[in-house]
């Protein structure tokens, strides 16, 4: 995930919990009042993708698995300190949900970082977002969503130049797999949120993800992870990609309607492409830019369809 991301992107087109406008002094939501939370969401998205770009620059030092390990460990420590989750009073089902959520989070991050090590950041995020988009189509079960799916597939076809001959096949496979994990992340994030107060479940799941990934990071990078510069950059990636965006999105959702939030999150491929260009000097062709635009349009369309249906996830999700 650029988002995908560990805490990232704890938001995706179809899973944002229902959030009402905070009334203005006049009793109805105002445009000026929405500018603040919109700015928070956009800042969070920019933070996630530029954190991803920074992670790519760190990979020659620590490897993809090492970077993920550093990010998850630092994010887990920060969330534990901030949230101070309660460990007692939870059922086996609660802990089972947290463990599966953590496993999903670890897989999502690991697969995504393996992807951006091989293909451009904007391309990877565009392919990854197909996971939440597919979940939206499946959950909605409306004929109109087939149009959005076709539009997204058209974008993917253009992105691959008609066959992905110009892209590393492994990078494409990792990005699509990360998208599948993002869809699973969405489902288990919602379940965890219903079982644990505030962000306690996320903090505990982050610990699970970190514990699972540390051995992989050590196996790949060993003592390279302890180099002060590497540690500092890894901490920066964790803050930019997990801690900061999660905090900003949490604040935004208190004042921003869920549909607006979800649509803004659909812009992540474009933000990722911009970050890739500015930080990593990864330029996009006109055709690739059009492809990303088609996937973004499909994601936004799916969100609007879900909103019209008044349904985010099935009751048993």
* Complete DSSP assignment for 213-263: HHHHHHHHHGGGGGSHHHHHHHHHHHIIIIIHHHHHHHHHHTTS-HHHHHH
pLDDT reported for residue 7 = 38
Higher-pLDDT residue of 198, 48? 48
Examine the pLDDT at 14 and tell me if it is beyond 90: no
* Coil/strand/helix, residue 2: coil
What's the CA gap between 80 and 73, in Å, rounded?
Answer: 11
- For the ranges 56-60, 68-72, 276-280, the lowest mean pLDDT is seen at 276-280
- Quote the mean pLDDT of the chain: 78
Residues in contact with 284: Cβ distance below 8 Å, sequence separation at least 6, in sequence order: 120, 122, 273, 277, 292
What's the pLDDT tens digit per position in 280-295? 888 877 877 888 888 8
pTM for the model stands at: 0.76
Q: How does pLDDT run across 128-184, given as a tens digit for each residue? A: 888 877 777 777 667 776 787 787 777 777 766 655 567 888 998 999 999 999 888
**CA atoms of 261 and 276, how far apart (whole Å):** 23
**pLDDT tier for residue 219 given thresholds of 50, 70 and 90:** very high
Q: Which of 45, 116, 156, 58 is nearest to 276 (CA)?
A: 116
Query: Would you say 302 and 13 are in contact if contact means Cβ atoms under 8 Å apart?
Result: yes
Residues 6+ apart with CB under 8 A from 255: 21, 22, 33, 34, 36, 37
């Amino acid at each position: 995930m650029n988002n995908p991301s560990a805490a990232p992107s704890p938001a995706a087109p179809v899973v944002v919990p229902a959030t009402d406008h905070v009334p203005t002094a006049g009793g109805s939501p105002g445009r000026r009042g929405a500018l603040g939370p919109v700015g928070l969401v956009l800042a969070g998205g920019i933070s996630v993708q530029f954190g991803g770009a920074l992670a790519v620059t760190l990979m020659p030092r620590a490897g993809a698995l090492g970077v993920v390990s550093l990010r998850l460990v630092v994010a887990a420590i920060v969330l534990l300190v901030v949230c101070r989750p309660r460990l007692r009073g939870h059922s086996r089902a609660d802990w089972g949900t947290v463990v599966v959520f953590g496993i999903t989070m670890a897989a999502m991050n690991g697969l995504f970082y393996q992807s951006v090590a091989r293909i451009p950041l904007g391309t990877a995020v565009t392919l990854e977002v197909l996971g939440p988009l597919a979940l939206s189509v499946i959950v909605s079960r409306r004929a109109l969503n087939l149009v959005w799916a076709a539009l997204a597939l058209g974008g993917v076809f253009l992105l691959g130049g008609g066959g992905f001959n110009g892209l590393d096949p492994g990078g494409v496979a990792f990005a699509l797999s990360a998208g599948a994990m993002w869809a699973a992340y969405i489902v288990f994030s919602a379940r965890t949120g219903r079982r644990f107060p505030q962000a306690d479940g996320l903090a505990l799941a982050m610990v699970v993800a970190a514990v699972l990934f540390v051995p992989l990071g050590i196996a790949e990078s060993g003592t390279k992870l302890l180099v002060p510069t590497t540690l500092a950059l890894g901490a920066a990636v964790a803050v930019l990609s997990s801690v900061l965006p999660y905090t900003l999105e949490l604040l935004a959702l208190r004042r921003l309607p869920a549909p607006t939030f979800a649509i803004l999150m659909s812009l992540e491929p474009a933000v990722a492409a911009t970050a890739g260009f500015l930080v990593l000097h990864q330029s996009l062709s006109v055709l690739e830019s059009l492809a990303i635009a088609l996937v973004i349009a499909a994601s936004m369309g799916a969100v609007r369809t879900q909103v019209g249906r008044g349904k985010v996830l099935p009751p048993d999700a």
